[in-house]
Amino acid sequence: METTKKVIQEVESCSAHNYHPLPVVIEKGEGAWVHDVEGKKYLDMLSAYSALNQGHRHPRIIDALVEQAGKVTLTSRAFHNDKMGPFLSKLCEISGFEKALPMNTGAEAVETALKAARKWGYQKKGVEENQAEIIVCANNFHGRTISIVSFSTEEQYRMGFGPFTPGFKVIPYGDAEALEKAITRNTIAFMMEPIQGEGGVIVPEKGCLAKIREITRENNVLLIFDEIQTGFARTGKMFAFQHEAAQPDILVVGKALGGGVYPVSAMLSNTEVMEVFKPGDHGSTFGGNPLGAAVGLASIQVLLDEKLEERSETLGEYFSKRLQELNSPYVKEIRGKGLLIGVEIKAECGKARPFCERLMALGVLCKETHDQTIRFAPPLIISKDEIDWALEKISTVLQDASQNISWEE
C-alpha cells in the first residue's frame, strides 16, 4: 500500500479537494477491468459515470484515436475538417434528429441547449425579451456551471456560488400534472433526465415521458432530454426516451459519446430549433475537432456493431433480478433500467459509502450517489461471467455488513 499512499498524499497536497474518491490508484484499464498501482485487479462497475459504456480502451476507438492523431487533431471551427460531417451525420441518424452541434463536456452541451431554447423562444415563439422561462425538475443533475447550478435543488451545489441565473422554475421529478400547471405563456422549454442518474437512479413512472411529450407539444414548449448519462445504450435502448417513443425537441448527449477516451458532447434538434444559431452566436474552440469527431464516430460504431443495447437490456435484467434475489437486509429498494442500477441502502443501516469501500476491498469498484444509493453501471461490454463474479462479492457485502472486510493499509 506504500505506492498508493504516496500517490494519494501527493494528490491531496496539490489538488483542489472537490472530490472524495475511494482510496484506489488506477494505473491501467482494459475492457471492464482496471489495475491499481499495487497490481491489484478490480472490476469497474462505475464506468466513469457511464462515460465508458464501450469499456476501457476499446481497440477500435483507440485505433481511431491513434489514426486521427497521425493526421490532424485540431482545426478550430475557423476552418472545416473532414471528420466532423461523418460524425454528426451518424449521430443524427442513430438519434432521429436533423442537426447536431458538437461541444466537449456535458455541461457545455446543456448550456448550448438552454441558449438554443431561449433564442427559439424569442425568435419563434414570440416571448417578450428576457422573459423566457425554463422548467426543470427537483433533484436534477445537469452539470456544474453557474447557470446550471442556478436551478439545482442540491444545497451544496449552490452554496457560495451566487448570484444565480434567473429564468428557471422547479417542479417535482416525473410529475406530468405539475408540469402542466407550471407552464405559462413565457415557458419555452422543459428539461429533464429520463432517469435521474446522480439523483440516485430515479426512474419515472411508466408512461410519464410520453405524457410529458404530449403536454409540451400541446403547449408549444420545447422538450429537452438530458441523456448525457442515460444515452448510448446504458438503459437497454440507444436512448432512454426510446422506451416510450418520446422523441424530444432537443437531446443533450456526452459521456459515452467519447468512448471514455476523449470529451465529446453534443446538442441535437430539428432544423427549426438549430437555425436560431447564426455565425458568432455560440461556439467552442475544441467542439467538433477532428480527433474528437473520429473518436465519437468510432464510439457510436462500436455500440452498433457490438449490439450493446441488447446486451445492456439482457444483462441489466439478469443483474437486477439476481440483486433482488439476494434479499439483503440492508437494502430498501433496487431501481433502474438496463445496466443503470441503483441499490438504495436503508437509512437505519448507515450510508452507502462503507458498502462501496467493502466492495472495493473485494475487487469491485462502484460509488455511492446521494449518500444512500450504490450505483452499479458497468461497461456494457461486460460479460455474464463477470457479472456473476461481481455478484458473489456483492452478495458477501450485502448479506452481512458486519463482516470485517478490509484491505491492508
Considering beta carbons, is residue 283 or 363 the nearer one to ligand PLP? 283
| Residue 107 binds to ligand PLP (criterion: CB under 6 A) | yes
Of 99, 226, 239, 337, which is the active-site residue? Answer: 226
Among residues 226, 249, 313, 386, the one that binds ligand PLP under rule CB under 6 A:
226
Considering beta carbons, is residue 252 or 352 the nearer one to ligand PLP? 252
Is residue 343 within 8 A of residue 351, CB to CB? The reply is no
- Please count the helices (runs of H) and the strands (runs of E) in the chain: 14, 15
| Residue 142 binds to ligand PLP (criterion: CB under 6 A) | yes
- Residue whose C-beta lies closest to ligand PLP: 106
Residue whose C-alpha is closest to residue 28's, from 20, 38, 19, 16: 38
Instruction: Give min distance, CB of 38 to ligand PLP, in A.
Output: 29
Of 10-18, 102-110, 160-168, 325-333: span binding ligand PLP (CB under 6 A): 102-110
Among residues 106, 167, 336, 342, the one that binds ligand PLP under rule CB under 6 A:
106
Considering beta carbons, is residue 226 or 249 the nearer one to ligand PLP? 226
Residue whose C-alpha is closest to residue 68's, from 264, 289, 285: 289
Of 19-27, 163-171, 225-233, 399-407: span binding ligand PLP (CB under 6 A): 225-233
Binding-residue total with ligand PLP (CB under 6 A)? 15
Quote helix, strand, coil % in the chain, to nearest 5: 40, 20, 45
Q: Spell 296-306 as b/e; 16+ CB within 10 A means b.
A: bbbbbbbbeeb
| Residue 312 binds to ligand PLP (criterion: CB under 6 A) | no
Is 141 one of the catalytic residues?
A: yes
| Residue 254 binds to ligand PLP (criterion: CB under 6 A) | yes
- Ramachandran bin of 293, using left for φ above 0, alpha for ψ from -120 to 50, beta for the remaining angles: alpha
**What string marks each residue from 179 to 208 as x (binds ligand PLP by CB under 6 A) or -?**
--------------x---xx----------
Of 71-79, 159-167, 180-188, 222-230: span binding ligand PLP (CB under 6 A): 222-230
Q: Where are the alpha helices (DSSP H) in 96-154?
A: 106-120, 146-150
Give the integer Cα–Cα distance in Å for 358 and 174: 33
Could you check whether the bond before residue 290 is cis, i.e. omega within 30 degrees of 0?
no
Instruction: Give min distance, CB of 212 to ligand PLP, in A.
Output: 16
Of 138-146, 151-159, 209-217, 370-378: span binding ligand PLP (CB under 6 A): 138-146
Of 44, 83, 97, 141, which is the active-site residue? Answer: 141
Question: Which residues from 20-49 bind ligand PLP, rule CB under 6 A?
Answer: 49
Is 255 one of the catalytic residues?
A: yes
* Extended beta strands in 177-291, E state: 187-192, 222-226, 250-253, 265-269
Sign of CA dihedral 119, 124, 130, 136: negative
Among residues 120, 141, 173, 241, the one that binds ligand PLP under rule CB under 6 A:
141
Give the integer Cα–Cα distance in Å for 322 and 317: 9
Among residues 88, 103, 179, 228, the one that binds ligand PLP under rule CB under 6 A:
228
Side chain identity at residue 335, one-letter code: R
C-alpha pair distances (Å), 195 with each of 22, 146, 168, 228, 356 = 25, 23, 20, 11, 22
| Residue 143 binds to ligand PLP (criterion: CB under 6 A) | yes
| Residue 113 binds to ligand PLP (criterion: CB under 6 A) | no
Is 151 one of the catalytic residues?
A: no
Is residue 233 within 8 A of residue 338, CB to CB? The reply is yes
Q: Which chain residues interact with ligand PLP by CB under 6 A?
A: 49, 105-107, 110, 141-143, 193, 197-198, 226, 228-229, 254
Active-site residue numbers?
Answer: 141, 226, 255
